[in-house]
C-alpha cells in the first residue's frame, strides 16, 4: 500500500498535499502549535496547554504508525497547515480522532480533507468508526463533523459533545465541486492574463495567442511577456513576470519545454493560480516529465491545462476569453465541451458555427497533466449557463469516481460522449450506469446536443412526422401526416399545429422539401410561429432541396437538420436520455462500500 502524498483542493481552490506524518515533521508540528492562538489550543486540548503538554503531543503525532495509531499531515508548499490523528480503541473497529488546523488556514476545509483521508486510511486498517470529543464552543469542528456526511452524529454529555464521524462519497463530491469551482475560476474567468513567450513575429504560438485574446475582446487585463519587452500589437509587454504592474490569475505559456518550470515559478510569485501550456514537452517527453511538471505546479498552487493544449474558450459576455490557438470563436450557447484531441476541438467548433449549436465553454485538455474530465464535470455541475456537457476523452481517470460524478451531473443536465469502438466493454457499461448519452461520431454528438440544449426533454418516445416527403414514418414509434408536394405554407403550418396539439406525440419532426411551387424559405417562415406556440414540445425540422437553409427554426431556435436520419437519431438520443432521467433515482449512487477521499488526479497516492 502506497503512503505517498496526495494532492487535494481546499474550498478556496488552493492545493494541499496530504500524507502520513513522519518523524521528520517534528519541527513543523512544533512550530504550528507554537504559533497557534491560545484560544485555538484550548479548543483542541480542552485546557490551556503547557509547553510540556505540547511536547507530548508532538511526540505522539510523530511516533511510528501502525494499525493502532494513524496520523496525517497537510502541507501547502513547505508550510504545515494541519494534522489529524486516530488512536484505536484496543482491537475494536473504533478509533478516537483529533484534528488541528493552523490558525491562518481556518475556514478552507483543511480539517475536513484531513479527516476524509484519515478515515479512508483507517478503514484499510479495519477501523470503521471514528469518534471524538468536542467542546460545545468549538463550532468550526462541529460543522466539520456535520459536513463530512449525513450520517455523522453527535450528542451532549456532561458539557462535552461526543461526535461519531461519517464520510460519504456524496458529501465529499459536493465539497469537491465547490473546491473545483474555486480552483478553476482562474481558468475560465481570469481578471488578468499574461501570455508568456508572446513575441512580435506573427505565426508564433505566443504571438497568436496574445492577438487572439485581444481580437476576441478579452474582458480582463492583458499583458505580454517576452525577452525584448516589445509590445504585441496594442498589448503592452514586459520582459519578466516580476515586472507586471499587478497580479495575474492566468498564464498562457508558449515557451520551449526547458523554460516552462521557470515560468511557473515566476508566475506563482506574480499571483497566478492557473496556466494553459500550449507547447508540448517535446518528442521524447514521457510520463515522468509530466509528473515532475505536475508536482511543481501543485507545490506552487497552480492548476495546469495541457501541456500540448489548443487553449480554453469562454463565450460568455461577462468573462469572454479566447486563451489559445483556435482560429475562430464559436457562437455563445449552453454546451460545454472537454476534449483531449485538438482535431476534435476544431471539428466541434466548425460544426457549432455551421449549425448554430452554441458553446458556453471549451477546454482543449491536450496531454492532461492536471485538469481532466472529472475536474470539469465537477466545475460544470452547478453552472447555470451550461445545460449540457460534451466529452471527447480517451481516458476517464478513476472509473468509479467518473461514474459517480457523471451520474450526478446526468441527473441535472445531459452528458454526451463519443463512443470509441476500440474501447473495452466496461467503458460502455460505465457510460450506461452514469446516464451518458453515447454517440457514434462527433457529428452525431453535435446533432444530439442540438436536440438537448434549449429544448424540453420529451415525455416519451412517440415521434410525429409532418412533411411533404414520403417514407419517413417507417421508424419505430413514429406516426405521420403526409402532405402533397407543393403544399402551401399555410396548410403545412396548420398540419404541424394540429399534430402538436393532438397530445399523441412526444416529439415533432417537420420535413420540408423545397420546390418551385413552395419554396422552403416560405414554409419555414410559416412553421416558426407554430414551433414557438408549443415551447413544451421538442421540435426539429429537416429541409431538403434548398440552399442557404437556416440552422434554427423560430424564435425558440429549434434545430434544423439536412437529413431525416440525423434528426431521427438525435431525437432517439433525447428520448433515451429522458427515459433514463425518469427511471433513475434522484440519489446519485449513494455511498460506495469503500469510499475514497477527495484527491486531485496525480502520479502518487495511497
Q: Which three cell numbers stand for residue 600?
A: 486531485
pTM: 0.88
**Average pLDDT in the 510-538 region?**
92
pLDDT digits (tens, 9 = 90+) for 231-271: 999 999 999 999 999 999 999 999 999 999 999 999 999 99
Give the pLDDT of residue 296: 97
Which part of the chain has CATH 3.40.630.30?
6-182
pLDDT value at 418 more than 60 = yes
Cell 429541409 -> residue: 543
Give the pLDDT of residue 421: 77
Element (H, E) at 153: strand 153-157
Give the pLDDT of residue 1: 38
Q: Which three cell numbers stand for residue 411?
A: 441527473
C-alpha distances (whole Å) from 191 to each of 273, 297, 387 are 11, 20, 25
C-alpha distances (whole Å) from 442 to each of 88, 270, 344, 366, 383 are 54, 40, 8, 18, 24
Please state the separation of Cα 95 from the chain's center in Å. Answer: 35
- Tell me if 150 sits within 8 A of 166, measured CB to CB: yes
Q: Which residues contact 168 (CB under 8 A, 6 or more apart)?
A: 148, 149, 150, 151, 590, 591, 595
Residue 307: cis peptide before it, omega within 30 degrees of 0: yes
Question: How many Å apart are CA 587 and CA 168, to the nearest integer?
Answer: 13
Which part of the chain has CATH 3.40.50.720?
184-322
pLDDT value at 476 more than 90 = no
- Tell me if 512 sits within 8 A of 527, measured CB to CB: yes
pLDDT digits (tens, 9 = 90+) for 175-230: 889 999 999 999 999 999 999 999 999 999 999 999 999 999 999 999 999 999 99
Which of 25-29, 169-173, 422-426 shows the lowest per-residue confidence on average (mean pLDDT)? Answer: 169-173
Give the pLDDT of residue 599: 60
pLDDT value at 524 more than 50 = yes
Question: How many Å apart are CA 267 and CA 227, to the nearest integer?
Answer: 15
Question: How many Å apart are CA 176 and CA 346, to the nearest integer?
Answer: 30
pLDDT value at 123 more than 70 = yes
Of 13, 95, 4, the residue nearest 378 (C-alpha):
13
Residue with more model confidence, 1 or 466: 466
Give the pLDDT of residue 592: 39
Q: Which residues contact 181 (CB under 8 A, 6 or more apart)?
A: 13, 378, 379, 382
Percent with pLDDT over 90 in the chain: 81
pLDDT digits (tens, 9 = 90+) for 499-521: 999 999 999 999 999 877 778 99
**What string of DSSP letters covers 397-417?**
SSHHHHHHHHHHHHTTS-EEE
- Tell me if 346 sits within 8 A of 339, measured CB to CB: no
pLDDT value at 591 more than 90 = no
Which of 308-322, 418-432, 491-505, 563-577 shows the lowest per-residue confidence on average (mean pLDDT)? Answer: 418-432
Give the pLDDT of residue 480: 80
The answer regarding whether domain 6-182 maps to CATH 3.40.630.30 reads: yes
3-state secondary structure of 156: strand
pLDDT value at 606 more than 80 = no
Per-residue pLDDT band at 287 (split at 50, 70, 90): confident
pLDDT value at 346 more than 70 = yes
Question: How many Å apart are CA 494 and CA 470, to the nearest integer?
Answer: 18
Cα dihedral 72/77/82/84 (nearest 10): -10
Question: How many Å apart are CA 252 and CA 233, to the nearest integer?
Answer: 17
pLDDT digits (tens, 9 = 90+) for 315-337: 999 999 999 999 999 999 999 99
- Tell me if 9 sits within 8 A of 60, measured CB to CB: no
Question: How many Å apart are CA 272 and CA 414, to the nearest integer?
Answer: 33
Element (H, E) at 96: strand 94-101
Domain 463-583 superfamily per CATH: Succinyl-CoA synthetase domains (3.40.50.261)
pLDDT value at 597 more than 80 = no
Of 408, 407, 406, the residue nearest 391 (C-alpha):
406
Give the pLDDT of residue 515: 76
Give the pLDDT of residue 12: 94
Q: Which residues contact 61 (CB under 8 A, 6 or more apart)?
A: 21, 25, 29, 71, 83, 85
pLDDT value at 602 more than 80 = no
pLDDT value at 174 more than 50 = yes
Per-residue pLDDT band at 468 (split at 50, 70, 90): confident
pLDDT value at 284 more than 90 = no
Count CB neighbours of 592 within 10 A: 14
- Tell me if 281 sits within 8 A of 288, measured CB to CB: no
Give the pLDDT of residue 595: 42
**Average pLDDT in the 402-426 region?**
91
**Average pLDDT in the 12-33 region?**
97
Residue with more model confidence, 284 or 288: 288
Burial of 525 (0-12, 13-18, 19+ CB in 10 A): middle
Q: Which three cell numbers stand for residue 62?
A: 510523530
Domain 184-322 superfamily per CATH: NAD(P)-binding Rossmann-like Domain (3.40.50.720)
Give the pLDDT of residue 353: 97
Kindly report the CA angle at 7 between 4 and 13, in degrees rounded to 5?
A: 165
Per-residue pLDDT band at 590 (split at 50, 70, 90): very low
Amino acid at each position: 500500500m502506497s503512503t505517498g502524498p496526495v494532492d487535494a483542493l481546499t474550498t478556496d481552490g488552493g492545493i494541499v498535499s496530504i500524507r502520513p506524518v513522519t518523524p521528520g515533521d517534528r519541527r513543523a508540528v512544533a512550530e504550528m502549535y507554537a504559533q497557534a492562538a491560545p484560544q485555538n489550543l484550548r479548543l483542541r486540548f480542552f485546557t490551556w496547554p503547557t509547553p510540556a503538554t505540547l511536547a507530548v503531543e508532538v511526540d505522539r503525532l510523530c511516533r511510528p504508525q501502525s494499525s493502532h495509531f494513524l496520523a496525517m499531515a497537510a502541507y501547502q508548499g513547505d508550510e504545515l497547515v494541519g494534522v489529524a490523528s486516530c488512536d484505536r480503541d484496543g482491537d475494536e473497529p473504533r478509533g478516537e480522532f483529533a484534528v488541528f488546523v493552523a490558525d491562518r488556514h481556518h475556514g478552507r476545509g483543511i480539517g475536513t480533507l484531513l479527516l476524509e483521508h484519515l478515515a479512508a486510511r483507517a478503514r484499510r486498517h479495519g477501523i470503521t468508526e471514528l469518534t471524538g470529543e468536542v467542546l460545545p464552543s468549538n463550532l468550526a469542528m462541529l460543522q466539520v463533523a456535520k459536513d463530512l456526511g449525513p450520517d455523522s452524529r453527535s450528542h451532549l454529555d456532561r458539557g462535552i459533545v461526543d461526535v461519531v464521524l461519517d464520510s460519504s462519497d456524496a458529501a465529499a463530491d459536493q465539497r469537491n465541486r465547490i473546491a473545483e469551482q474555486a480552483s478553476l475560476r482562474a481558468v475560465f474567468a481570469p481578471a488578468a492574463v499574461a501570455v508568456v513567450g508572446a513575441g512580435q513575429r506573427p505565426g508564433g504560438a505566443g504571438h497568436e495567442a496574445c492577438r487572439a485574446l485581444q481580437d476576441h475582446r478579452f474582458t480582463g487585463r492583458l499583458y505580454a511577456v517576452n525577452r525584448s519587452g516589445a509590445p504585441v500589437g496594442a498589448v503592452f509587454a514586459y520582459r519578466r513576470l516580476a515586472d507586471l504592474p499587478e497580479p495575474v490569475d492566468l498564464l498562457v505559456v508558449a515557451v520551449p519545454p526547458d523554460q516552462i518550470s521557470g515560468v511557473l515559478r515566476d508566475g506563482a510569485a506574480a499571483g497566478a493560480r492557473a496556466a494553459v501550456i500550449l507547447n508540448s514537452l517535446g518528442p521524447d517527453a514521457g510520463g515522468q516529465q509530466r509528473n515532475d511538471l505536475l508536482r511543481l505546479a501543485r507545490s506552487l498552487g497552480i492548476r495546469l491545462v495541457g501541456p500540448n493544449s489548443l487553449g480554453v474558450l469562454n463565450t460568455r459576455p461577462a468573462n469572454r476569453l479566447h486563451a489559445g490557438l483556435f482560429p475562430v470563436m464559436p457562437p455563445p450557447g449552453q454546451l460545454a465541451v472537454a476534449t483531449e484531441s485538438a482535431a476534435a476541438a476544431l471539428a466541434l467548433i466548425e460544426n457549432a458555427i455551421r449549425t448554430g449549436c452554441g458553446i458556453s465553454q471549451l477546454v482543449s485538455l491536450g496531454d492532461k497533466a492536471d485538469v481532466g474530465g472529472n475536474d470539469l464535470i465537477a466545475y460544470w455541475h452547478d453552472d447555470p449557463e451550461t445545460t449540457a456537457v460534451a466529452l471527447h476523452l480517451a481516458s476517464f481517470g478513476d472509473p468509479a469516481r467518473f461514474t459517480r460524478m457523471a451520474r450526478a451531473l446526468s441527473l441535472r443536465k445531459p452528458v454526451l460522449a463519443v463512443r470509441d469502438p476500440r474501447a473495452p466493454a466496461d467503458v460502455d457499461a460505465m457510460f450506461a450506469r452514469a446516464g451518458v448519452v453515447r454517440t457514434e461520431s462527433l457529428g452525431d454528438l453535435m446533432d444530439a446536443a442540438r436536440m438537448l440544449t434549449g429544448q424540453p426533454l420529451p415525455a416519451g418516445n412517440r415521434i410525429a412526422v409532418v412533411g411533404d416527403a414520403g417514407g419517413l414514418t417507417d421508424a419505430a414509434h413514429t406516426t405521420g401526416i403526409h402532405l402533397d408536394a407543393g403544399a402551401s405554407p399555410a396548410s403545412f403550418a396548420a398540419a404541424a399545429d394540429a399534430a402538436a396539439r393532438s397530445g399523441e406525440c412526444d416529439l415533432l419532426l417537420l420535413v420540408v422539401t423545397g420546390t418551385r411551387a413552395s419554396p422552403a424559405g416560405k414554409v419555414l417562415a410559416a412553421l416558426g410561429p407554430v414551433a414557438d406556440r408549443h415551447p413544451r414540445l421538442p421540435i426539429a425540422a429537416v429541409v431538403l432541396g434548398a440552399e442557404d437553409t437556416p440552422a434554427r427554426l423560430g424564435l425558440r431556435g429549434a434545430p434544423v437538420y439536412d437529413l431525416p436520419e440525423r434528426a431521427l437519431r438525435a431525437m432517439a438520443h433525447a428520448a433515451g436520455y429522458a427515459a433514463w432521467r425518469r427511471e433513475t433515482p434522484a440519489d446519485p449512487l449513494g455511498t460506495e462500500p469503500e469510499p475514497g477521499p477527495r484527491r486531485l488526479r496525480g502520479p502518487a497516492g495511497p
